[in-house]
Amino acid sequence: MYIADLTINNLYLLYIILGSGQSLYVFIIMTDDGREYVYSLKNFSKDSHTGEFLSTKILQILDDIGIKKFCAVISDHASNVALAKKMIATQASSYNSHVMYSLSH
């Protein structure tokens, strides 16, 4: 199955800090029928996790797959992630596509 063939609903951002101090970010795609696919696993240990950095990484995925396929970006509400979601919402509106909701749990 190819990403282009999926009916995508959400993009989840999970991050894990290992005991060694490494920061791993997992980007998971959820389809309309509830299936989940790991799109990528990134080690951002050497990067500054600013809102701008995270929004760039998330927007790259949305652009690669097609922003119109997504209805939500879901993550926690850490301050850098909250800023990234605001930046994504602003950027998504410039695509003249459907509304892009930024949610958190």
Q: Right CATH number for 3-104 from 3.40.50, 3.30.420, 3.40.980, 1.10.1060?
A: 3.30.420
Q: pLDDT tens for residues 75-92?
A: 777 788 888 888 877 776
- pTM beyond 0.85: no
Q: Burial of 100 by CB count in 10 Å (0-12 exposed, 13-18 middle, 19+ buried)?
A: buried
What's the DSSP call for residue 93? H
Give the whole-angstrom CA distance, residue 47 versus residue 35: 30
Low-confidence ranges of the chain (pLDDT < 50): 96-105
Q: Name the residue ranges covered by the structural domains of the chain.
A: 3-104
Q: Which residue has the tokens 């850490």?
A: 78
d(CA 6, CA 15): 24
Q: Rounded CA gap, 32 and 86, in Å?
A: 24
- In whole angstroms, give the CA distance from residue 68 to residue 5: 14
pLDDT reported for residue 1: 53
